[in-house]
């Protein structure tokens, strides 16, 4: 990691100086990259029919304190690859009409929800998502499934096919009793199933590929097609998804946890705090003219992209909601913004996106600010999630990588493209 910025003398002045310089006509400009096009070339305009009011940024506290977000602890003793508890297996086989003697549920991951592979006759049959009780209400889950189904019908990009219960319902709701370990007053459980998608998760292969950027042009193009669909799609009556505003990404009310809850040194905290303030300022300045707000996937990180026979499938829409379209750019680089190949990936994503939708130089700067905030969002995410939710090498790189990213962002608002 590069040497740390010395902000200990006057961090507030350092941030003010950076923000002022970025918005002057002679602000820092990136060098011209040797790619098909310059991502900062101001030759097009992003457009959206949806005008929004810029959300108010949360106060950025100086103290290194965070409000706890309740982790999903029900499966805390269950490791990846281990079978589901009997109460869950019974519920699934009953609801989906599966033969218990031929069916096994195996844990894939625990994040906002728990994900299990459903094997029938020792072969993958479906993927079950078990929602954390109280995290999302049934109307929001049904709304997610409605959008996914519409994308599958209208967009030439593979998305998971919903597997209905035996009675045709898409969502299964049930309650545990105390014999199954349910605490008093536990909220109802909700589950949905998707057809099993063959292939490798991009997260597992991106770090070993000689040039992982080749996939990201396609991801950028797919994202642009999602955004075009979102602009033109008329949601059905009762459609309900949450928002991704600044206060939902960072701060004490953030959805996944405050990055200040991560153990760190004082100097690391100062750098992250300064970068957060600068990025929030950039977003606030840009947001009133950014009309690219609508329904987004919101978590297009490598773990949610499947590759099989050179075909791409986008999975895991459980975080979809209303936000800036370019937040999907930020989420595509989740956990890897500090890697040497991040710049190539960012440029390829932009090229792919521009092949479908317009994007200006100012839009790209706005996207880089969102990427900085996303990095802090995901650092906060690590404070409320299990360590095995990420590959060990990615988990271990989160704090030092976030500090490196923050340092680079403070040096240049187009840090990903310099």
Q: What is the pLDDT of residues 71-91, one digit of tens each?
A: 578 898 899 999 999 999 999
248, 211: one domain: yes
Question: Looking at residue 87, what is its pLDDT?
Answer: 96
295, 403: one domain: yes
Q: Is residue 138 part of a domain?
A: no
Question: Which CATH number belongs to the domain containing residue 22 in this structure?
Answer: 3.90.1200
187, 232: one domain: no
Q: For residue 375, what are the domain limits?
A: 12-71+201-411
Question: Looking at residue 41, what is its pLDDT?
Answer: 43
Nearest alpha carbon to residue 112 among 261, 391, 318: 318
- Whether 412 has a pLDDT exceeding 50, the answer reads yes
Question: Looking at residue 189, what is its pLDDT?
Answer: 95
Number of domains making up the chain: 2
Of 29-43, 258-272, 307-321, 325-339, the least confident: 29-43
Q: Do 245 and 54 contact (CB within 8 A), yes or no?
A: no
Q: How confident is the model at residue 54 (pLDDT cuts 50, 70, 90)?
A: very low
98, 216: one domain: no
The CA distance from 151 to 148, in Å, is 5
End-to-end Cα spacing for the chain: 17
Q: How confident is the model at residue 254 (pLDDT cuts 50, 70, 90)?
A: very high
185, 219: one domain: no
The count of residues in the chain is 418
The CA distance from 75 to 83, in Å, is 11
The CA distance from 192 to 302, in Å, is 22
Integer CA distances (angstroms), 334 to 78, 371, 394, in order: 26, 8, 10
254, 313: one domain: yes
Give 4's DSSP letter. P
173, 196, 219: which is the final residue of a domain? 196
Q: Is residue 124 part of a domain?
A: yes
Nearest alpha carbon to residue 282 among 383, 395, 410: 410
114, 224: one domain: no
Q: Is residue 244 part of a domain?
A: yes
Q: Determine the Cα angle at 67 with ends 335 and 60, to 5°.
A: 75
Of 124-128, 134-138, 199-203, 310-314, the least confident: 199-203
Question: Which CATH number belongs to the domain containing residue 124 in this structure?
Answer: 3.30.200
Alpha-carbon 276 to chain mean position: 18
The CA distance from 406 to 345, in Å, is 18
34, 90: one domain: no
20, 104: one domain: no
Q: What is the pTM of this model?
A: 0.81
Q: How many other C-beta atoms lie within 10 A of the C-beta of residue 1?
A: 10
Q: Is residue 79 part of a domain?
A: no
296, 367: one domain: yes
145, 171, 196: which is the final residue of a domain? 196
Average of per-residue pLDDT across 224-234: 96
In whole numbers, what is the pLDDT of the chain averaged over residues?
Answer: 83
401, 263: one domain: yes
The per-residue pLDDT for range 144-186, each reduced to its tens digit, is: 999 999 999 999 899 999 999 999 999 999 999 888 888 888 8
59, 94: one domain: no
């Amino acid at each position: 990691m590069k040497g740390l910025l010395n902000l200990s003398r006057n961090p507030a002045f350092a941030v003010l100086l950076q923000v002022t310089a970025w918005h002057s006509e002679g602000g820092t400009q990136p060098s011209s990259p040797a790619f098909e096009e310059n991502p900062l070339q101001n030759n097009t305009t992003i457009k959206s029919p949806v005008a929004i009011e810029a959300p108010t940024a949360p106060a950025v506290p100086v103290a290194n304190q965070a409000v706890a977000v309740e982790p999903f602890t029900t499966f805390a003793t269950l490791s990846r690859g281990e079978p589901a508890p009997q109460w869950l297996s019974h519920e699934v086989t009953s609801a989906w009409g599966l033969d218990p003697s031929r069916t096994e549920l195996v844990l894939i991951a625990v994040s906002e929800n728990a994900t299990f592979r459903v094997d029938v006759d020792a072969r993958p049959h479906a993927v079950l998502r078990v929602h954390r009780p109280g995290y999302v209400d049934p109307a929001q889950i049904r709304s997610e499934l409605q959008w996914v189904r519409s994308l599958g019908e209208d967009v030439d990009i593979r998305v998971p096919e919903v597997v209905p219960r035996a009675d045709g319902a898409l969502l299964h709701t049930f309650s545990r009793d105390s014999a199954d370990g349910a605490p008093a007053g536990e909220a109802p459980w909700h589950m949905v199933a998707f057809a099993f998608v063959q292939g490798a998760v991009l997260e597992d292969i991106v770090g070993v590929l000689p040039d992982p950027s080749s996939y990201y042009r396609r991801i950028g193009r797919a994202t642009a097609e999602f955004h075009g669909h979102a602009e033109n799609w008329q949601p059905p009556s009762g459609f309900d998804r949450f928002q991704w505003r600044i206060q939902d990404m960072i701060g004490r009310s953030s959805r996944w946890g405050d990055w200040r809850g991560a153990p760190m040194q004082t100097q690391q905290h100062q750098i992250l705090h300064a970068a957060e303030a600068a990025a929030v300022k950039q977003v606030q300045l840009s947001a009133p003219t950014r009309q690219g707000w609508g329904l987004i996937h919101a978590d297009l990180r490598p773990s949610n992209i499947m590759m099989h026979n050179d075909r791409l499938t986008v999975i895991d829409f459980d975080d979809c909601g209303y936000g800036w379209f370019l937040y999907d750019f930020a989420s595509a680089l989740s956990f890897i913004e500090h890697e040497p190949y991040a710049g190539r990936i960012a440029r390829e994503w932009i090229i792919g996106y521009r092949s479908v939708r317009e994007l200006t130089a100012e839009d790209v700067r706005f996207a880089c600010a969102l990427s900085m905030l996303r990095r802090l969002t995901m650092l906060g995410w690590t404070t409320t999630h299990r360590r095995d939710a990420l590959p060990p090498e990615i988990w271990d790189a989160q704090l030092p990588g976030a500090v490196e990213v923050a340092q680079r962002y403070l040096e240049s608002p187009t840090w990903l493209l310099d």
